[in-house]
Amino acid sequence: MKLTVENVSLSIASKQIIQDISLHVSQNQFVGLIGPNGCGKSTLLKSVYKALEPDTGIITLDDSIVQELSNKALAKKMGVVGQFHQVNFDFSVRQMLLLGRSPHKGLMERDTAKDFAIVEEVIQQMDLEELADRSFLSLSGGEKQRVILGRALVQQPQFLVLDEPTNHLDIKHQLSILNTVKQLPIGALAAMHDLNLAARYTDYLYAMKDGHLIKEGTPDEVLTESTIKELYEVDCQTYTNPVTGKRNIEFL
């Protein structure tokens, strides 16, 4: 399933947050969105998963217009991992994961053996065995992030949107989560904070500043010293890692 964002602009309280954004994610492509805090990355992602309504422009998943899909229909197609995880009920981790099956259920329909099997598979995949019966509210921020990604995987989506998915995670689980996303046979769009992880895992990058896209291309094309200076107002050196063959950035 491919995502197309065409000429999307969005204002909040009369302030222009993003302006005339267009981007594309192909089937099986992992696309990253980079830029400084406040540049509009999260706002753009919220418009993609229909938490915010654009002022202008159109967003499509294959031939479906996202703005015209019901929330349930969209949830069958798209999984979302946001930055903040407010939960008002004290669910266990296993119960939180089972919520990922909700888009596939009718009213009052019970969970099936298939649903439980999918959850157990994701528990293994996300290294959640020791947390499965814990209260979600008792978890650390990084543990919660892994559960939320797990819930999205339980949905079995055809597209994935992630807002800084490695936020709060230790190095082991940063690499584990990004490896998992990279290996999924679906398209993914992720706002990313760590440029070295973006260089290592993404297939294509869009760079944002002040609500506009200023550059796009492969990580090698986007993660240049001049572009990083323009985005973040810091000096750096870039080089090709001889082990991974990927672009690496050292800040000066």
Span 54-87, pLDDT tens digits? 999 999 999 999 999 999 999 999 999 987 666 7
pLDDT at 1 over 70: yes
> Locate tokens 């993003």: which residue?
18
pLDDT of residue 141: 85
Helices (H) and strands (E) counted in the chain, each on its own, are 9, 12
Whether 244 shows a pLDDT value over 80: the answer reads: yes
pLDDT at 152 over 80: yes
Beta-bridge partners for 189: 31, 161
Q: Report the distance separating Cα 153 and Cα 181, nearest Å.
A: 10
The pLDDT mean for the chain works out to 93
Q: Does domain 3-222 have CATH number 3.90.320.10?
A: no
Crossing angle, helix 171-183 and helix 141-154, to 10 degrees?
Answer: 10
Dihedral over Cα of 50, 126, 181, 242: its sign: positive
- What residues form DSSP beta bridges with 217? 205
CB 79 within 8 A of CB 1: no
Q: What is the pTM of this model?
A: 0.93
Token duo for residue 103: 């888009």
Q: What's the CA gap between 240 and 217, in Å, rounded?
A: 17
Residue 109: the pLDDT is 86
Task: Band the pLDDT of 156: cuts 50, 70, 90.
Answer: very high
Quick one: three-class SS letters along 60-116? EECCEEHHHCCHHHHHHHEEEECCCCCCCCCCEHHHHHHHHHHHHCCCCCCCCHHHH
Which pLDDT score is estimated for 142? 86
Check residue 82 and give its pLDDT. 83
DSSP labels, 3-67:
EEEEEEEEEETTEEEEEEEEEEE-TT-EEEEE--TTSSHHHHHHHHTTSS--SEEEEEETTEEGG
* Stronger pLDDT, 250 or 82, i.e. the higher one: 250
97-115: pLDDT as tens digits: 999 999 998 878 888 999 9
Question: pLDDT tens for residues 193-225?
Answer: 999 999 999 999 999 999 999 999 999 999 999
The CA distance from 203 to 213, in Å, is 17
**pLDDT band at residue 26 using 50, 70 and 90 as cut-offs:** very high
Point out which residues pair with 120 in neighbouring strands: none
